[in-house]
A and B are shown apart, each in its own frame.
Chain A
Amino acid sequence: MTAAAQAVSVLLEDRLITLNRAVGLIRRRNLPIQSLAVGPTATPGLSRLTIMMQSDTATAERAVQHLQKMIGVRAAMAFPTRDGVTRELALVKVRAPRERYGELLDVVQLYNAVLVDDSLDGLIVELSGTEAFVLSCIRALERFEVVEVARSGTIALGTANNLQSETTT
C-alpha cells in the first residue's frame, strides 16, 4: 500500500484529559501525523479532533481502532482526503514598503485572501483553503517580508460518512 493523505476524524468529550489521552496515543503508537486541529462541534460537550497523516489505509484504520477503545472518545473514522473536504486557516503578518503595497494587494486578491489588520508592525492577511493552497499563498507572500505565520492545522469532513450521527444512538 502506498502512503496517501488520510484524515482521521475523532469526536471526543471536550475535556483536556481526553484530548491529552488521544494525543498521547498518537505519540505512543508512533503515527506519522502532519497536523492536529481541535474545536467544538454542533453537540454541546463534544469536540472534534482532526488528525492529518501521510500513511496507508491500514495505518489510519489502526489509529481509528485504538482511538475507539478510549474512554471519552465517542466515534472515530478515517478517510483519504480525496473522499472529503479539507480546509486550513492561516494568518500571515507581512511587511512591505509603501511602494510595493499594490503588488501585495494583488497577491492577496489572487488567493482570495483578506487583509484583516493594517498596523504599524505590518499587515495581517487571512487565508484559507487546502493545505497545498495555503502553502502556495504563503510562498507567494514570502516575496515580501513575512514576520509571523499562524496556521490552524487542517480540518476535514468526509463526504460519504457522517461521524456525528454515529454518536446520537
Chain B
Amino acid sequence: MTETLTGSQILCRALLEEGVDVLFGYPGGAIMPFYHALPEFPGLRHVLVRHEQAAAHAADGYARASGRAGVCVATSGPGATNLVTGLATAHMDSTPVVAITGQVSRAMMGRDAFQETDIIGITQPITKHSRLIEDVEEIAEAVREAFYVAQEGRPGPVLLDIPKDVQNQKTEWNEGTRERGNPPTARPSIVPSFHRSALEEAARLIAEAQRPLIMAGHGVVLAGAYAELRVLAERTGIPVITTLLGISGFPESHPLHLGMPGMHGEVHVNRAIQQSDLILGLGLRFDDRVTGNLAGFARGAKLIHIELDPSEISKNVPAAIALVGDVRDVLCSLLPAVAPRNCESWRREIAGFVRPREESFRAGLSPQAILDAIDDATNGQCTIVSDVGQHQMWVAKLYRYQRPNSHITSGGLGTMGFAVPAAMGVALARPSEPVWAISGDGGFQMNMQEMATMVQERIPVKMAVFNNGYLGMVRQWQQFFHGKRYSATPIWSPDYVRLAGAYGITGHRVESAEQLDDAVRAAAAEPGPALVEFMIEQEANVFPMIPPGGSLSEPIEGAPLVSA
C-alpha cells in the first residue's frame, strides 16, 4: 500500500520500527513538524524534560538500564547545544544514544539563521557518528543506520540533524517493499579476531600464574558476560576486581570479589594489582583513574587484554596477549581451554593486605549506614544511579551490589548532574524496580529541575541527597593539595524538603542515624517520586586516595596535617 507521508511521519514510523517506546525531549521552532506528527503515534511516549541536558542523560540512563538505544530530541541551536554534555557522557562510557535535532530549513543553513548552529560540527568529537539528513528519502535509512551504529560493536551516541523543511517534505511511502537489515553504509560488527594459539597461550598463562587477577570493566556489563565471568573466576579461584563501570558485573558478596581499583580503591585491591604477575583485563580501557601513574602500574604483571575495540589494546598498558572481541564471545571461546586451579595462597596473601579503617561520622550518619538502609528498604532489588563526587565513591565501594547492572554512574566524563535525569531513564526502562538517584548537594542542584518532569510524567525516582554543605570532592583536594584553601567549595542549599514539597513530592530530612530507617522506608513506600536529604559529616574524606599522578603503591590513608 502506497501513501503520502511527511518526513516527520516517516521519522516516527522508523523509530517505532527500531522498537523505540520512549523519547526524552523538548520542542522548539525547528523541530515542530516532528512534534506535530508525534500525537499520531501513541506507541512513542514523549517525556517532556525541563532542560535538554536532562533529555540526553535520561536517554543514556535508559540505554544503560535496558541495553537498547535511548532516544533524545531537541530543537536547533540552544536545544541542540544543551544536549552536548549528555552526548559526551554517553560517548565516554560507550552507551548507545540516538539524538535527533531539528535544524533550520535547508535554504537558511549557513546564513547564521535564527537558532542555527552547526551541531554536527560541535558534536563531532563526542559522537560515534552523526549525519545531516538532506532529503526526506534519506530519513528511514538514516534512522536505521543510526540505531545500528549506536548499538553495534562498542556502543556510542549518534546524532541525526534534520532540517525543518525536510521534516515537512512529503514522499510516497510503500510499507511493503521496503528492505530491512543492516544499512549498506554501516561497517560490519567487529568479529572476534585472534588466533587459536593466542587462546591456548592465554590459558597457559592463567594456569601458570602465581598471583593472577581479573579486572572487569564496563565491557562485561555491555556484553552481559556475567555468567561467563563467574565461571572463569570460580573455576580458577582468581580474585575479581571491578572498575567503577564494571561494578555489579560480579556479585559483591562473592568470596572472590575484591573491590574497586585505582584512585579511591581500597589499599588491598591496589596492592594486589601491584603484586600481581598476571592481569586478565576484561572490557576495560585502563583509564588513568584506574592505573594511577602508568610507569608504576603493575610492573610485574603480564596483561591478557580481552576487549572489543582494537584501538584500546596497548593504548595505556601493553598487552602480552590481545583477544579482540565481545567479552562474552571471547570468554566462551577461552573457557574450554581454561583448566581448574585455585589461588588459595595468593588469596590469603591479599587478605593480609586488608587495612581496617576507623572513621567516625556525625550523628552516626555514615555513608555505609545510609546505603545499607536503602538496600534494606528495597530488599536488594534496587538500581542505584549515582552522581559525581565523594558520594559516588562511597556508593561505588560500600553498596553491596548483587544483581547485574544495578549500578549506573558517569565514569569517564564524570558529569555532575547526571544522576537525577539518568535515573528517570532507568526508571522507565525498569518500571517494576525501585530506582534511587544518589547525589551530593552540588550535583543535585545542577539538574533538580527534573523533579517537575518526574511529577508530570509520574516517574517514581527516589532521590537521595548527601548534603555536607560543600562541593566535597573538590574540598577534599583543596584540603590535601591546596593548603586547605576552600575556594568556591562551600555551597548553600535550599530547604530540600520544602523544595520537594513545592513540586508536590514528599521530602524527608535525616539528621541522625535514628531517623534513617523510617525516612528511607517511607520514601521507598511512596508510589511516586520521593526525596531524602541526609545531613552528613561536613568535612568527611574519601579514603584511601592515590594522589593525582601518584602510583597505586602510594595511598593517602589519612588527612594531611595542614598548616597553611
Contact = CB atoms under 8 A, between A and B. Distances in A.
Query: Which of B131, B132, B310, B315 has the most chain A CB within a 10 Å cutoff?
Result: B310
A17 B132 CA distance: 9
Contacts of B132: 17
A143 interface: no
Contacts of A62: 311, 315
B125 A71 contact: no
A24 interface: yes
Nearest to A63: B311
A21 interface: yes
Nearest to B158: A71
Nearest to A27: B125
B186 A20 contact: no
Nearest to A70: B129
B309 interface: yes
B120 A71 contact: no
A55 to B, nearest CB: 15
Nearest to B132: A17
B210 interface: no
Nearest to B313: A65
Interface string A57-69: 0100010011001
Nearest to A67: B311
Contacts of B131: 17
B129 to A, nearest CB: 4
A65 B311 contact: yes
A158 B186 CA distance: 27
Contacts of B253: none
A20 B124 contact: yes
Interface string A1-39: 000000000000100010011001000100000000000
Given A71-B185, A71-B187, A72-B185, A65 B124 contact: no
25 contacts: A13-B185, A17-B131, A17-B132, A20-B121, A20-B124, A21-B124, A24-B124, A24-B125, A28-B125, A58-B314, A62-B311, A62-B315, A65-B310, A65-B311, A66-B311, A69-B309, A69-B311, A70-B129, A71-B128, A71-B129, A71-B149, A71-B185, A71-B186, A71-B187, A72-B185
Interface of A: 13, 17, 20-21, 24, 28, 58, 62, 65-66, 69-72
Given A28-B125, A69-B309, 11 more contacts: A13-B185, A17-B131, A24-B124, A58-B314, A62-B315, A65-B311, A69-B311, A71-B128, A71-B149, A71-B187, A72-B185
